[in-house]
Structure 1
């Protein structure tokens, strides 16, 4: 799948395009809503770059590959895109997939700007080839843990599926909440029906249940079961990974999907650039853009600036990470080395905890900022 982004009216006379490889989840079991928003942000940024002259007169072109949340498929796509001569790679939402992309990009010497994946250990060893816009999981999830404690929720239950991302999230929550007087108990989603999970939660006396599981299955059936169980009427249901951000959540759950706090990476109030880009994204998407769409726009804009300033040679692009200074939709973007993180990292994008308003499920409320 290629996304044409050449300026109109220049067919046959334009210079060869500068290609960017875009990796996004567009089919199941990937979070398709996230992939669609991420791609919309990338496409908008590229169209704006081309409208202002491209890269030294050359149009920027996205070469899009669907990862479908499959690490092996994504790694194979990196090989293909590298052979096609892309100047850099962009995107990906799922952490386990982004980790495979980063490892392969590092091995091949292809610069990669990760848009949305948050796993701290994005690479096994430090690398000069990879940079990231999303905050590290440890940063965002500690903010979420502070929200839970501030809301008086100290008996935390998590329902999980096997994944390094969910396992890491559980450990982060336990390490942060435990020393502050709270507890975290873990339930295996694959070993409990939604109804059996409700029985276990009632018996444990949990005050919060966090959904560290896939979307829509099994997250949606679990929420329905919990919401319909009178024993759990006071239980806070949370989804730190962001499932309620996307329209499908509200479509499937309606009012039952409200008041489920999640992490999002947006400022409390957008600046002029954020407002302008948000309007453009809303027109493209036909709905309110998620934070992931803004991550996509910021990714495309940062890469364009690096290409303009340092050229299209891959080594030059990678060498440009520490020199980036770009005004993004969510604040000034610069990369630095952060302890415990082996890639060039923006420290930090704004972090907030939000939910859908029970009185108006299409409206988001900010319930905590970090």
Structure 2
């Protein structure tokens, strides 16, 4: 539910001529997806597959009041300025809403523009807590907040007896926030976090520093494939670090290109993903259809894409295609998603309407069969 002080969308909010018209034309929805480097393109491909599949299924079922749903895709390439510009362009094209994005700093830029323009934005995958600078009725999110997921990952580390943590980082508000969240959670339980700069240390020098430090776990708070892949190779090849647990809370090991690049070295590296331990009938059916499209097992990001369109389609059907009506729908929706029932609410400390919470797992690739995932912890 909206808090009493929450600003409410009104019919006078910006909406170009044609947005929400009932003349039989397609209902246009913008989609922001990282499809080019330096974006995590594998995740972008899975996100788009989920969005596309759900749009096709909505249209096969009659569309939105008999009107087809049309996805207008824009590649963000992990660039916040590019995402903001795309939001401006899509608003001018009369979309009823915008969905998607994987990278948190990119989604934050898009969410800020959505709020300024009065365009509903349903964020699929980005987790940064501060997605907007202030509370807004225009933005809703499916992915869990970073503080929620990374607390669960911290608890997993402590349960495994790993309290002396090293993190290798790159400059980014997302990585900096993750480091702070880890430090706060671990410090409250007697753990420590030491930070190493990936830009200042070559992989071999990082190994020397880790050996000197006596870390029991190394967390990769860096981009993929560079520099994550060479760091993992160097650590795995160093006998001094044979007992070091390597983790990647941001989810790099889920992607197929991680397994291709690292082979057995990429297994046994815990990461966060947002799936239940077992999919229900809806989720299993969507999984099978996504696998047919992708030619490989879908990541949790593909499920996020499908769920995004399922939620938005319900908003469009139940409240109409006008932008203010779509945004006003967020707190009233109850949608069966692939990973459970989806409802949005106000969560203290977050400025957006939030699904609280999707299922969270800590998983890894099984060293005995790197193409198979193991669930190590749930929260």
TM-score between the two structures when normalised by the length of structure 1: 0.96
State the SS of the aligned residue for 1:90: strand
Q: Matches of residues 273-288 of structure 1 in structure 2 within 5 Å?
A: 273-288=282-297
Matching residue of 1:11: none
Distance 1:301 1:108 in 2: 24
1:350 aligns with 2:359: yes
Distance 1:278 1:369 in 2: 20
1:306 aligns with 2:315: yes
Distance 1:189 1:178 in 2: 23
1:30 aligns with 2:26: no
Shift >4 Å, 4+ stretches: none
Which of 333, 341, 349 is 1:332 aligned to?
341
Displacement of 1:15 after TM fit?
Answer: 2.3
Matching residue of 2:8: none
Q: Matches of residues 83-232 of structure 1 in structure 2 within 5 Å?
A: 83-232=92-241
Matching residue of 2:298: 289
Matching residue of 1:8: none
Matching residue of 1:7: none
Q: How many residues align?
A: 357
Displacement of 1:293 after TM fit?
Answer: 0.1
Matching residue of 1:262: 271
1:307-349 residue CA offsets vs partner (Å, 9 max, x unmatched): 0000000000000000010000000000000000000000000
Distance 2:116 2:188 in 1: 40
Displacement of 1:118 after TM fit?
Answer: 0.2
1:62 aligns with 2:68: no
Distance 1:346 1:128 in 2: 14
1:84-108 residue CA offsets vs partner (Å, 9 max, x unmatched): 0000000000000000000000000
Displacement of 1:179 after TM fit?
Answer: 1.4
Matching residue of 1:78: 87
* Consecutive unaligned residues in structure 1, runs of 5 or more: 1-13
Matching residue of 1:3: none
Matching residue of 1:341: 350
* Consecutive unaligned residues in structure 2, runs of 5 or more: 1-22
Displacement of 1:361 after TM fit?
Answer: 0.3
Distance 1:286 1:240 in 2: 26
Matching residue of 2:29: 20
RMSD: 0.6
Matching residue of 1:244: 253
Matching residue of 1:4: none
Distance 1:19 1:254 in 2: 41
Distance 1:151 1:53 in 2: 50
Distance 1:15 1:64 in 2: 21
Distance 2:168 2:149 in 1: 19
Distance 2:377 2:349 in 1: 26
Matching residue of 1:9: none
